[in-house]
């Protein structure tokens, strides 16, 4: 019913919501009537639409956990939290792993998600209908060559989601994960262009190849991901928690 898909009067918090998939999700939730708060790196939330709130915070900072908890208490009640902030590291095989890079990516992709869920749990509970959505990836249940670190981080995100769903379910909070496939964001296009400069396929050929790997013969879009996030944020999915939702146009 229509009332199941509205977020009018509710607060939604999106980490990494200043650009890319996070921005697409925030735009969709705003269109459903939600009051939007974006948590992003210092400088990133400066061009937000009128009426949105911006919180400048590096989730890997030593005081990030406490700062998130303070913001959550200020914003409470919060109906939706999207733990989207993350990073895709350079391609690197298992024989050339870099410890500093490993620690940095795990801190953003895994620790950042975990502390976001923990910090906002009381505010989500206070809403009476809290929905938390974490950004995983198809790399959370499969892997690709030279993506050891990214795959490991997204496998860990799914583990965090499943455990958090059990922790928070008795408090009426749902926790689910989105698992996008390749999406033609600026970040992906930049990586394709970098690989082309090193002798890889052109942007057009690379995108055509990715589309050809799907049942729909097209790549999933940021709007596709935002649509599933909107469903999980709404009361239409109130009976669903602890699940991973692929958005990849039928990857084969």
Domain check: are 35 and 139 in the same one? Answer: yes
Whether 70 is in a domain gets the answer yes
Kind and range of the H or E element at 148?
A: helix 148-168
Q: Look at 83-97, 181-195, 204-218 and tell me which has the smallest mean pLDDT.
A: 181-195
Mean pLDDT computed over 95-124: 98
CATH number, residue 104: 3.40.50.720
* 27 falls within a domain: yes
Give the per-residue pLDDT at 3.
Answer: 63
Is the pTM above the cut of 0.85? yes
Q: Mean pLDDT over residues 71-94, rounded?
A: 96
Answer yes or no: do 12 and 132 share one domain. Answer: yes
For the chain, counts of helices (H) and of strands (E): 8, 7
Indicate whether 189 belongs to any domain.
yes
C-alpha–C-alpha distance, residues 14 and 26, integer Å: 7
Active centre residues (catalytic): 150
The whole domain housing 208 covers 184-219
Report yes or no on 72 lying in a domain: yes
Residues 6 and 83 in one domain: yes
Q: What is the mean pLDDT of residues 28-44?
A: 95
Number of domains in the chain: 2
Q: How far apart are CA 26 and CA 135, in angstroms?
A: 13
Higher-confidence residue of 186 and 35: namely 35
Q: Is the pLDDT of residue 1 over 50?
A: no
């Amino acid at each position: 019913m229509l009332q199941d898909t509205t977020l009018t009067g509710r607060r939604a918090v999106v980490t990494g919501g200043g650009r890319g998939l996070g921005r697409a999700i925030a735009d969709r939730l705003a269109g459903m009537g939600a009051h939007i708060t974006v948590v992003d790196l210092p400088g990133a939330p400066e061009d937000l639409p009128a009426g949105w709130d911006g919180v400048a915070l590096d989730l890997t900072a030593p005081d990030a956990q406490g700062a998130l908890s303070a913001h959550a208490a200020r914003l409470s009640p919060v109906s939706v939290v999207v733990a989207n902030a993350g990073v895709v590291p350079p391609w690197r095989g298992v024989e050339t792993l870099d410890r500093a890079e490993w620690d940095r990516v795990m801190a953003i992709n895994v620790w950042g998600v975990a502390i976001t869920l923990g910090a906002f749990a009381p505010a989500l509970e206070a809403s009476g209908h809290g929905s938390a959505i974490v950004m995983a990836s198809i790399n959370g249940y499969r892997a690709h060559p030279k993506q050891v670190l990214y795959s490991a981080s997204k496998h860990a995100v799914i583990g965090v989601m499943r455990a958090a769903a059990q922790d928070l379910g008795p408090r009426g909070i749902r926790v689910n994960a989105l698992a996008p496939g390749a999406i033609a964001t600026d970040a992906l296009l930049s990586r394709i262009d970098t690989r082309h400069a090193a002798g890889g396929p052109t942007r057009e050929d690379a995108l055509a190849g990715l589309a050809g790997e799907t049942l729909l013969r097209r790549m999933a879009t940021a709007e596709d991901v935002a649509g599933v996030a909107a469903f999980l944020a709404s009361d239409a999915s109130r009976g669903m928690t602890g699940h991973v939702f692929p958005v990849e146009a039928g990857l084969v």
